[in-house]
Structure 1
Amino acid sequence: MPFLEIDNLEKSFGATKILKGVTLGIEEGGFLVLVGPSGCGKSTLLNTIAGLEQITGGEIRIAGKRVNDLHPSKRDIAMVFQSYALYPNMTVGENIGFGMEIRGIAKAERDKAIADVSQLLQIGHLLDRKPSQLSGGQRQRVAMGRALVRKPQVFLFDEPLSNLDAKLRIDMRTEIKRLHHRMKTTIVYVTHDQIEAMTLATKIAVLKDGILQQFGTPEEIYNNPVNMFVADFMGSPAMNLVPATIGETGNQLSVELARNGSAPVSLALNGAPQGLSAYRGKQVMFGIRPEALTDPDGADRNATHLVTADCHIEVVEPAGSDTFAVTNLGGKGVVARLRADARIKPGTTAPLTFNLTKAVFFDPATQERIA
């Protein structure tokens, strides 16, 4: 039974529906990430869990208890905001302990909790400083410390890293993951950054226009997207989505990918999705991740279905640990992820290996996955 349950949740502002029947659940100690583009409803969903927004329909349950009508202070949750929301006139220690002081907790107990949390977050040397004397990463640690001392049932994070620079975001992401492993707390985390979602989550909920598109583990979301939106949104670089025609070679189905000025690339399918046979002679969207399209020597040797084809290379982008190459298939630029030392030049023809074990197919009209 999930520890936090969202059941057919709806939220409207006037006549505008923001959340449209969202249903999901996370186990105790799980890390749920709500991800999606701006305006998809993820922060609204977080605010309804917190009690900062009243829901229009559905139910929210924490540890089996319905909390729809409970005041935020009665829900036993703690929230970390994007803006840190620290009191500028208080020291770090006072900021962390303020909530406990308001609740009448004895000073000795407060001091112990502050010391424990500051040691966990490595901010013990900052306790006498004011927020204005701290860096962005230090302020975020203080905001997290203020939430941690409460020991709530659920922690809510609302894009906590969005104000930090790229390197600090990576460092803080690691700290949050380490913290979750130590504390075994239940976390709901909002971000628009799909890399954060993939690295932090035990479960991901992908939202678009207030509708839950897919809910599952990071591996499920990445490798088995249910529609073109999820396929395109999750992953960096994004999945290649290429218009293709389903043909037939002997007794096997094949994927035909058009090329400018030359014969199509024909990829024989071995063990194609069952539903794909209904698309013979019809167009589909062929999805393949850049890492599943690579130079022959860099291909996954454990893959059960590799097909190599000569492709015209238009652009080469060295990226340190990888080299990205762009070819044109189906009238679109398609990104291949190659080894860093791959010998490849723009304007030439080179063999690229398709790992069709990782390929997925979508109906171009509905944009849904072909099973």
Structure 2
Amino acid sequence: MSFLKISHLRKSYGALEILKDINIEIEEGGFLVLVGPSGCGKSTLLNTIAGLEPITSGDIEINGRSVSGLHPSKRDIAMVFQSYALYPNMTVAGNIAFGMEIRGVPKEEREKAIHQVADMLQIGHLLDRKPSQLSGGQRQRVAMGRALVRNPQVFLFDEPLSNLDAKLRVDMRTEIKRLHHRMKTTIVYVTHDQIEAMTLATKIAVLKDGVLQQFGSPAEIYNNPANMFVADFMGSPAMNLLEATVEKNDAGLSVLLSRGGGEPLRLPVSADKQALAAHAGRQVMFGIRPEALTDPDGADRNAKLLAEGDCLIEVVEPAGADTFAVTHLGGKEIVARLRADAHIHAGQTARLAFNLDKAVYFDPQTQARIA
């Protein structure tokens, strides 16, 4: 049974519709990440769950109970904001305890909760300090501690790591993941960072212009994108999307990719992508992730369908554990992800292996997935 259920939710400001018929369900203890570009409606959706924004129509249920008309204080949720929102005149302990104090929790109980949470977040040595004496990461831990002592049904995180530097973000991401494993509380988390979404979530909701583009597990979103927007948005580097022509002959289905004036590259289509037959003789968008396009020695030996082709390498970018190579196919610049020790140089023609088990195909007009 779903623990958090959002049904046909719409949110408008006058004639401007921000959220358009959103339907999402997540089980108890799940980690839902709302992801999408700036202005897509993800923070507005989080605020409707929190009760900070009224909904225009639809419903929000938590643990089988509609909360749509309830005041935020009656929803049994706790929120961690991007800005930390700490009281500068209070100590760390005072900030963590403030909500409990307002609710009339006895002092002994408050002290116990403060120390439990401080131990969990490794901020016990900071309890007597003021926020101005803390680093960004420490302030974020205090903000999380203030939410944790509530022991709510649902935690809401609004881009909590966006103010931190790159290394600290990775560290805090690990802490949040560890915290979730330990506490098993349902979390809804907003971010525009798709790496954050992939690493933290049990379920991801991808939004664009107030419309839910796809909802599923990180693996589903990454490997089986519903449309070209999801394919391009999720993944770093992004999925290669290029024009191809579908060809049908006695040997089966193939796709043809132009190679800058030379002979086109012909790639076979895997047996599970036969829906492409209806597009024979027409153009489609061929999608393949950089890691599925590599040097032949680095190709996945468990792949059922591998094909090779010669490509002119234009740029080589060493990146430590990987080497990225840029070439042109289908009239577009595309990226291949090679082994770190791959012998490849800009200006040479190199043989690349295509893992066609991982290829996906889209309709160029509707941008929806075909196969």
TM class, shorter-length:
over 0.9
Cross-structure match for 2:74 = 74
Which whole-Å deviations, capped at 9, do the CAs of 1:39-88 have from their partners, x for residues lacking one?
00000000000000000000000000000100000000000000000000
Query: Do structure 1's residue 327 and structure 2's residue 332 form an aligned pair?
Result: no
Structure 2 counterpart of 1:26, one-letter code: I
TM-score (norm 1): 0.99
Runs (4 or more) in structure 1 with deviation over 4 Å come to none
Provide the rounded CA distance (Å) in 2 between the counterparts of 1:166 and 1:206: 23
Cross-structure match for 1:106 = 106
Structure 2 counterpart of 1:203, one-letter code: K
Q: Which consecutive unaligned segments of at least 5 residues does structure 1 have?
A: none
Cross-structure match for 1:345 = 345
Cross-structure match for 1:2 = 2
SS for the counterpart of 2:47 is helix
Which whole-Å deviations, capped at 9, do the CAs of 1:222-275 have from their partners, x for residues lacking one?
000000000000000000001000113433110100011310010112315232
- The 5-angstrom pairing of residues 164-203 of structure 1 reads 164-203=164-203
Provide the rounded CA distance (Å) in 2 between the counterparts of 1:223 and 1:37: 20
Provide the rounded CA distance (Å) in 1 between the counterparts of 2:327 and 2:248: 24
Structure 2 counterpart of 1:66, one-letter code: S
Cross-structure match for 2:354 = 354
SS for the counterpart of 2:117 is helix
State, as a whole percentage, how many aligned pairs show the same letter: 77
Q: Which moved more, 1:245-254 or 1:158-167?
A: 245-254
Query: 8 Å contact 1:28–1:186 — kept in the other structure?
Result: yes
Provide the rounded CA distance (Å) in 1 between the counterparts of 2:249 and 2:301: 25
- The 5-angstrom pairing of residues 161-240 of structure 1 reads 161-240=161-240
Structure 1 counterpart of 2:264, one-letter code: P
Cross-structure match for 1:155 = 155
Cross-structure match for 1:306 = 306
Which whole-Å deviations, capped at 9, do the CAs of 1:15-47 have from their partners, x for residues lacking one?
100000000011000000000000000000000
Which whole-Å deviations, capped at 9, do the CAs of 1:185-234 have from their partners, x for residues lacking one?
10000000000000000000000000000000000000000000000000
Provide the rounded CA distance (Å) in 2 between the counterparts of 1:309 and 1:58: 52
TM-score (norm 2): 0.99
Provide the rounded CA distance (Å) in 2 between the counterparts of 1:295 and 1:249: 28
Which whole-Å deviations, capped at 9, do the CAs of 1:319-364 have from their partners, x for residues lacking one?
0000000110011001000000000001111110000000000000
Cross-structure match for 1:57 = 57
Which whole-Å deviations, capped at 9, do the CAs of 1:140-169 have from their partners, x for residues lacking one?
000000000000000000000000001100
Provide the rounded CA distance (Å) in 1 between the counterparts of 2:307 and 2:99: 61
Query: Do structure 1's residue 286 and structure 2's residue 291 form an aligned pair?
Result: no
Provide the rounded CA distance (Å) in 1 between the counterparts of 2:137 and 2:270: 50
Cross-structure match for 2:125 = 125
Query: 8 Å contact 1:253–1:272 — kept in the other structure?
Result: no
Cross-structure match for 2:32 = 32
Query: Do structure 1's residue 274 and structure 2's residue 274 form an aligned pair?
Result: yes
Provide the rounded CA distance (Å) in 2 between the counterparts of 1:259 and 1:250: 24
SS for the counterpart of 2:110 is helix
Q: Number of residue pairs matched?
A: 371
Query: 8 Å contact 1:252–1:270 — kept in the other structure?
Result: no
SS for the counterpart of 1:351 is strand
SS for the counterpart of 2:304 is coil
- The 5-angstrom pairing of residues 129-140 of structure 1 reads 129-140=129-140
Cross-structure match for 1:252 = 252
